Amino acid sequence: MSTPGAPVGDATQLWLLWKRVHETLRTAIVSEVTLSSDLSEPELSVLTWLYESGGRCRQSEIAHGLRWDRTRLSHLLTRMQKRGYIERLTRTDGVEVVLADAGHAVVEAAAPELERIAQSAIVDRLGEHDTHALRSILHTLAEADRRS
């Protein structure tokens, strides 16, 4: 913990800037997508994860990948199953979550809006060079996270 009035270091300033920008962009993008799709942000996260995973994934892998508590995920999946977005299959090695037709359809319906908003909020503001640089930096950080 820092002393009141003590200068904030460069690393902390960078983190605070990233946090502020991330929260602003995330709020803007997610609020528009969830409003137009009738999905909650957590539902969108799970459906997108499943979609990108080929439509099926072990429940524990989703919890780990999204950095969520397993109980939180389990409660959400129960609600999503009632809405017809997913199915859960009990396997000997755990629970497999499968993207149902309705879940697949809602992800595909939300995708163009998500692309439009992300394009406007991020890519158009950065330009091609800075977009490429940001993508490279984020891949580097993600890879370091996977290795740790």
Q: What is the pLDDT of residues 67-110, one digit of tens each?
A: 999 999 999 999 999 999 999 999 999 999 999 999 999 999 99
Q: What is the predicted pLDDT for the residue at 87?
A: 98
Q: Which residues contact 117 (CB under 8 A, 6 or more apart)?
A: 28, 29, 32, 33
Q: Which fold has domain 21-147?
A: Arc Repressor Mutant, subunit A (1.10.10)
Residue type, 12: T
pTM: 0.83
CA-nearest of 114, 115, 96 to 53 is: 96
| HSE-up (13 A, CA, CB side) for residue 40 | 9
Alpha helices (runs of H) in the chain, residue ranges in sequence order = 10-37, 41-52, 59-66, 70-82, 101-118, 124-147
- Which band of pLDDT confidence, cut at 50, 70 and 90, is reported for residue 141? very high
> In this structure, are strands 86-91 and 56-58 parallel, antiparallel, or unpaired?
unpaired
Please write the tens of the pLDDT for every residue from 20-64: 999 999 999 998 888 888 899 999 999 999 999 999 999 999 999
Q: What is the predicted pLDDT for the residue at 61?
A: 95
Structural domain boundaries in the chain: 21-147
- Which band of pLDDT confidence, cut at 50, 70 and 90, is reported for residue 145? confident
Return d(Cα 2, Cα 43) in angstroms, integer: 38
| Structural tokens at position 112 | 């163009």
- Which band of pLDDT confidence, cut at 50, 70 and 90, is reported for residue 4? low
